[in-house]
């Protein structure tokens, strides 16, 4: 049994391990090639987050989904590069919107070069992804366009907030299905589709990816509060400081409204205050870590991961299916 990638994914079969490792290495080369420009400064900015590393969660899913067809088909690695480039581009834009200073343990692009360069670099990565997509055929382009529309819609819905009368938690789950789940669904879909897997398998791995993507984001929400280190690639409490209403906070507000307890009301008041103040921020983190809302968010993460695992049931038993099931466990472990 071999561990592959930062998720500690266990791969039981040597041939599968070799395929996944070779595929991820090829994706890394493809990312560096796709982010080169004739202008050295553009290359430096475009490769900033590539070289900072990352989980490569989406390319990993492409490689595992490809095992249900021909894992050596020519479109697999380029499609994984497209998905990761798209993800990286959104990070550049997200950091501008969130005014983030750190990403993946290094200065964010906007902190280093300013917002304009960060936004334009994200656009550059989108353009390079589109260039690769053009060689993968009109169906691949259509899939990417639909996912990108969902991703942007999710971001707009997050910015706008829930409409009057809408449950904030339901609204938030819709947001992350668009912002995160849609692109991870594409990873599963591309891997299966490019490998020539049958239509039913492509559908299963697409739905699996979306459910897993939601679990992945919920695990990040838990980590933002629960982690004492930089496990999530960001400083713990970053989302809190930036006023982003993640799932534990939404559960807290719902529980405060239901219970009316003085402790919950006080914590909500602290959240509504100035969290750029380090002492207030530290107190909010301490109180949230001990609050039942955090455990509720963990349970939600587990539920989505279990749903993702259940979606895989119709697939034939094989090492790739076992690895996809293990990936559900790995995502949940991050929120443990």
Question: Do 97 and 179 belong together in one domain?
Answer: yes
Confidence (pLDDT) at 3:
43
C-alpha–C-alpha distance, residues 208 and 310, integer Å:
9
Question: Do 221 and 311 belong together in one domain?
Answer: yes
Position 195 pLDDT exceeds 60: yes
Q: Tokens 């990040």 appear where? A: 220
Q: Is the pLDDT higher at 56 or at 233?
A: 56
Report, as an integer, the average pLDDT of 221-236: 73
C-alpha–C-alpha distance, residues 166 and 185, integer Å:
26
Position 239 pLDDT exceeds 90: no
Q: Is the dihedral of CA 49, 51, 57, 58 positive or negative?
A: positive
Query: Which residues span the domain enclosing 275?
Result: 200-319+326-335
Question: Do 67 and 82 belong together in one domain?
Answer: yes
Phi, psi angles (nearest 5°) of residue 45: -70, -40
Position 35 pLDDT exceeds 90: yes
Question: Do 191 and 221 belong together in one domain?
Answer: no
Confidence (pLDDT) at 1:
39
Confidence (pLDDT) at 336:
60
Confidence (pLDDT) at 6:
47
C-alpha–C-alpha distance, residues 216 and 103, integer Å:
17
Q: Which residues contact 103 (CB under 8 A, 6 or more apart)?
A: 49, 52, 91, 95, 109, 233, 234
Confidence (pLDDT) at 332:
86
Question: Do 209 and 174 belong together in one domain?
Answer: no
- Enter the tokens of residue 58: 């989406």
- The pLDDT-based confidence of 317 (bands split at 50, 70, 90) is very high
Question: Do 17 and 73 belong together in one domain?
Answer: yes
Per-residue b/e over 30-47, b at no fewer than 16 CB within 10 Å? bbeebbeeeeeebeebbb
Position 165 pLDDT exceeds 90: no
**Type and span of the H or E element at 58:** helix 57-65
Question: Do 179 and 210 belong together in one domain?
Answer: no
C-alpha–C-alpha distance, residues 298 and 181, integer Å:
18
Looking up residue 17, the CATH number of its domain turns out to be 1.10.600.10
Number of domains in the chain: 2
Position 2 pLDDT exceeds 50: no
Report, as an integer, the average pLDDT of 41-64: 91
Q: Tens digit of pLDDT for each residue in 199-216?
A: 999 999 999 999 999 999
Of the residues 178, 197, 216, the one at which a domain ends:
197
Of the residues 147, 178, 197, the one at which a domain ends:
197
- Between the ranges 97-111, 219-233, 309-323, where is the mean pLDDT highest? 309-323
- Is 5 within a domain? no
- Is 2 within a domain? no
Confidence (pLDDT) at 159:
87
Of the residues 197, 227, 254, the one at which a domain ends:
197
C-alpha–C-alpha distance, residues 173 and 176, integer Å:
5
Query: Taking all residues of the chain, what is their mean pLDDT, rounded to a whole number?
Result: 90
The total number of residues written for the chain in this structure:
336
């Amino acid at each position: 049994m071999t561990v592959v990638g930062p998720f500690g994914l266990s791969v039981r079969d040597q041939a599968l391990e070799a395929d996944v490792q070779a595929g991820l290495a090829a994706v890394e080369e493809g990312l560096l090639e796709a982010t080169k420009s004739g202008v050295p400064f553009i290359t430096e900015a475009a490769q900033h987050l590539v070289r900072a590393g990352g989980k490569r969660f989406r390319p990993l899913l492409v490689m595992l989904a490809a095992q249900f067809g021909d894992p050596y088909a020519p479109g697999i690695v380029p499609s994984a590069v497209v998905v990761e480039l798209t993800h990286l581009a959104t990070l550049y834009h997200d950091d501008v919107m969130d005014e983030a200073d750190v990403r993946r343990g290094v200065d964010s692009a906007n902190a280093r070069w300013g917002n304009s360069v960060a936004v334009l670099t994200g656009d550059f990565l989108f353009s390079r992804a589109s260039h690769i997509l053009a060689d993968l055929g009109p169906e691949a382009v259509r899939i990417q366009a639909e996912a990108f529309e969902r991703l942007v819609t999710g971001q707009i819905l997050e910015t706008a907030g829930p409409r009057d009368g809408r449950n904030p938690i339901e609204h938030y789950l819709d947001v992350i299905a668009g912002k995160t789940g849609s692109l991870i669904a594409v990873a599963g879909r591309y891997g299966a589709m490019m490998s020539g897997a049958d239509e039913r398998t492509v559908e299963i791995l697409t739905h699996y990816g979306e459910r897993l993507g939601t679990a992945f984001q919920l695990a990040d929400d838990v980590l933002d509060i629960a982690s004492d280190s930089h496990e999530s690639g960001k400083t713990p409490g970053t989302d809190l400081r930036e006023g982003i209403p993640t799932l534990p906070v939404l559960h807290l507000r719902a529980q405060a409204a239901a219970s009316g307890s003085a402790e919950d009301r006080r914590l909500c008041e602290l959240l509504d205050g100035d969290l750029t103040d380090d002492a207030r921020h530290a107190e909010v983190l301490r109180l949230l870590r001990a609050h039942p809302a955090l455990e509720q968010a963990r349970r939600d993460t587990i539920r989505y991961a279990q749903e993702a695992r259940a979606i895989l049931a119709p697939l034939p038993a094989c090492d790739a299916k076992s690895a996809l099931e293990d990936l559900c466990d790995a995502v949940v472990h991050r929120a443990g």
